[in-house]
Each structure stands twice: as C-alpha cells, then as structure tokens.
Chains A and B, each alone.
Chain A
C-alpha cells in the first residue's frame, strides 16, 4: 500500500487519459477492471472516484480514440468493454512522448540539484 502523500487531484486528472489509453493498449477492458488496475499499479496513490472514470471513457470514445461494446461475461453479467482504435494508438503515442519529455526535464533538474 502506498505510504507517501496522496497525488494531487490535478495530476490525477491530467494523467487520466494517458493511463486509460496505456491500459487499453494491453487489450480490451471494462470500467471496473480499469479502475482496479490503476489502483493496484499505483498502490493506492492514485485515488479516483470510481464513477469519474466513465466520463473519461465517454470523452475518449467521442474523440474517436476508443470504441465500446456491450458483452455478457461468463457469469452472465453485462459489461461495457472498451478497446483502442487506430487514432487512439496515435494519440497515445503523442501523449507518451509528451509525458516522457516532461519526465526527462524534471529528472534532469532534480539530478542537477543532487550533484
């Protein structure tokens, strides 16, 4: 479990799209599974109101980056699955480059301070 301070909500909001696109790049998924995956990977540092994932998913779908379909699971439950589209892959690649750039600049600055 995450022991450090919680990540600021502005950063959580900004990272929502790249996180969702990254997870969907691994394959089709549904809302509940996406939320659980993010919580597990961040060890609880990224705190989302579960319901707030869904406007993000709908916005990504409206942009044409992801698509959805309703399916019945093995247990008979209906789930709305999302998958990445080609435009979404391109958008994800661009976002990845931007985040890596920000990370490299910050990492460089912090390294200077420690030298």
Chain B
C-alpha cells in the first residue's frame, strides 16, 4: 500500500545522501511534490523524476551563489544561509554547546587578563606617569576600554546571570525563539568574541603608549 509520507521521507533521505541537504530547499521541493500529488508509487516516482536528480540540482543551486548577507552569516559561524526555516531547527543543546565552545577561549583569556594583566597594566601606566583620565585624546580611549573591562569583570556574575535568565525566559515563553535561536546566539558569540579581541588590542595599545614613559 502506497504511503505518501513514507515516500517523501525516503525521498528526503535520498536527496540528502546525494548532497542536497539544505532543509529549506528540500521543504520547497517537498511542497512541489505534494502539489503534484501521487496516489501510487509509480506516480510518485514520476514526480520525483520530474523534480530531478540531487547531483544536478546541487550543481544548479551551487551556481546561485552567496550574497553579502549569506557571507556574513557563514562568517558568524552559521553555515546554512536559510537560518529561519521552521521545519528543521537545530537542537537547543547543540546551539548552546557550540556557543560555549566558541566563547570559552576568549572568556578564559578575558578572566586571566582581568585578574593578572590589567592590574599590571594599570601599574605600568601609573609608573609611566600617564594620568587616570584626561579630557579627550587617544589615551582616554584606551583608558576607557580598561575601565570598561574592569566594570564588566566586577559585575560579571550579574551580567552572566541576567543573560542566562533572559535565555531561560526566551526558551520558556517565546514560541518563535527556536527559529531565531541559532542565528541570534551565533551573532552574539561573534560580537562578544570581537569585543574581547578589541579589548585586548586596546590593552596592547595602552602598553605601547606607556612604554616610552617608563624609567630605565
């Protein structure tokens, strides 16, 4: 007895095995198959033949290429440009595990910097005769970034608690959050990593600014 749902599920498996694994494209092609309709296996096979072979489709879709938005999403660690599909959402644990893995090195280095490096840097700046703060100027920018890092360090538990509470609230109350979770968390991780890198660069610049003022 022909079962359309089983036939479609098998077709999706064969497409994925042939290299056509993008879920939104498969959803659209599946929608086409359902519109065409099939009451028997042979009719279904004919519809599938009219859709085309996965290798040929993959070749044609590859020619579509990436736009700037697609490239940015890949850069942020989101390989699938169709991130808001409704039928295949990445498991929650996978998204948060990847986010933790990507953030862990930067967070570790930020903690080490806050505990060991910044106090030393502040001492170096004082020894070099650099003021605590001035009105304007390049030094003010680097000093502000150090002040910012210290503020985040002293309030890190509060900030982390607030972020985790927000994520729990979204998971619990928002029906749309799972669609946007991967993209939002991915972009958030990218921004946080970038901020930490910029902070390290500012500390490096502060040391360069301070260096000439150090007594031999």
| Chain A residues proximal to chain B, CB less than 8 Å | 30-33, 35, 49-52, 54-55, 58-59, 62, 70, 77-80
Contact = CB atoms under 8 A, between A and B. Distances in A.
Contacts of A55: 57, 60-61, 63-64
15 contacts: A31-B28, A31-B31, A32-B35, A32-B36, A49-B52, A54-B25, A54-B28, A58-B25, A58-B64, A59-B65, A62-B64, A62-B67, A77-B35, A78-B27, A80-B31
Contacts of A70: 86
Contacts of B66: 62
Contacts of B50: 49-51
A38 to B, nearest CB: 13
B92 interface: no
B34 interface: yes
Give the interface size class of chain B. 20 to 34
* Chain A interface, DSSP helix/strand/loop, else mixed: helix
A62 B68 CA distance: 10
A55 B57 CA distance: 8
A52 B52 contact: yes
B63 A51 contact: no
B29 interface: yes
B50 to A, nearest CB: 4
